[in-house]
């Protein structure tokens, strides 16, 4: 089983990237599970026509710990992606990081991975902070690799550097290793050079690059993934190449 996490600053296109990678791999015939670990619970929305799905934490609050059934937490997309949203606390109450821990522990207790037997598991994680529950997907038994989405914008690179540093600091505990950086271009000056320098600082590589594209925006407005609605576009091809590269890095078979 290939298991990896995609981290990135809020608003950088992390979830768009995750959904498109999930769809691209599913369309190749792989059984994919995507687990959203963003408290906004919109990680998988592009796989469901732009709609949110019920989250694990919502179910726990409604039914109580130990009373949630596995099938209630899982939502299968049109492309066949097995989708789960961890969810977050009631606004102003509770800890979002703790919510991620509770959700992932619930999935494990319910035997989600054994029942659905995915070929690929993708954790989509907010990377503005990397502490407590937000580092949970990096822990042993969950993701084996971490891929960081960034643009060349200063704050995006700053957040990416913090994520990379966290991965480096955690590696002595047997946590996931850094798999590489995905450049989601924003057409800023010196973008490729600055992101390549960031990768070099952490002894890794830019493993995929996706151009800024109106096609991506148009697909999002339809609540769909680009690789589904505009598969021949340049950006869709770049996303598929990135997905193939991730599979290679994680030790899986690739058609590339």
Residues with active-site annotation:
9, 14, 40, 128
The dihedral sign for the CA sequence 133, 128, 118, 218: positive
Question: How far, in Å, CA of 12 to CA of 184, rounded?
Answer: 8
CA dihedral 244, 247, 248, 252 (to 10 degrees): -130
CB-based contact 218:235 (threshold 8 Å): no
The dihedral sign for the CA sequence 57, 66, 18, 226: negative
Question: How far, in Å, CA of 47 to CA of 80, rounded?
Answer: 9
112 closest CA partner among 2, 5, 33: 33
């Amino acid at each position: 089983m290939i298991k990896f996490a995609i981290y990135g600053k809020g608003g950088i296109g992390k979830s768009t990237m995750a959904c498109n990678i999930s769809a691209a791999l599913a369309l190749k015939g792989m059984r994919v599970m995507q687990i959203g670990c963003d408290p906004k619970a919109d990680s998988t929305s592009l796989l469901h026509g732009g709609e949110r799905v019920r989250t694990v934490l919502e179910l726990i609050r409604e039914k109580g710990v130990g009373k949630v059934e596995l099938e209630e937490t899982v939502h299968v997309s049109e492309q066949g992606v097995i989708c789960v949203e961890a969810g977050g606390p009631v606004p102003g109450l509770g800890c979002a990081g703790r919510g991620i821990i509770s959700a992932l522990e619930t999935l494990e207790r319910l035997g989600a991975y054994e029942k659905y037997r995915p070929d690929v598991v993708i954790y989509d994680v907010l990377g503005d902070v990397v502490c407590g529950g937000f580092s949970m997907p990096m822990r042993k038994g969950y993701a084996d690799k971490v891929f960081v989405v960034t643009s060349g914008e200063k704050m995006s690179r700053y957040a990416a550097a913090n994520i990379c540093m966290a991965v480096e600091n955690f590696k002595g505990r047997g946590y996931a290793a850094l798999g590489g950086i995905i450049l989601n271009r924003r057409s800023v000056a010196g973008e490729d050079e600055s992101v390549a320098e960031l990768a070099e600082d952490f002894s890794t590589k830019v493993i995929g690059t996706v151009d800024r594209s109106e096609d991506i925006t148009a697909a999002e407005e339809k609540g769909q993934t680009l690789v589904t609605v505009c598969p021949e576009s340049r950006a869709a091809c770049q996303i598929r190449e990135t997905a193939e590269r991730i599979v290679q890095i994680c030790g899986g078979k690739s058609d590339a």
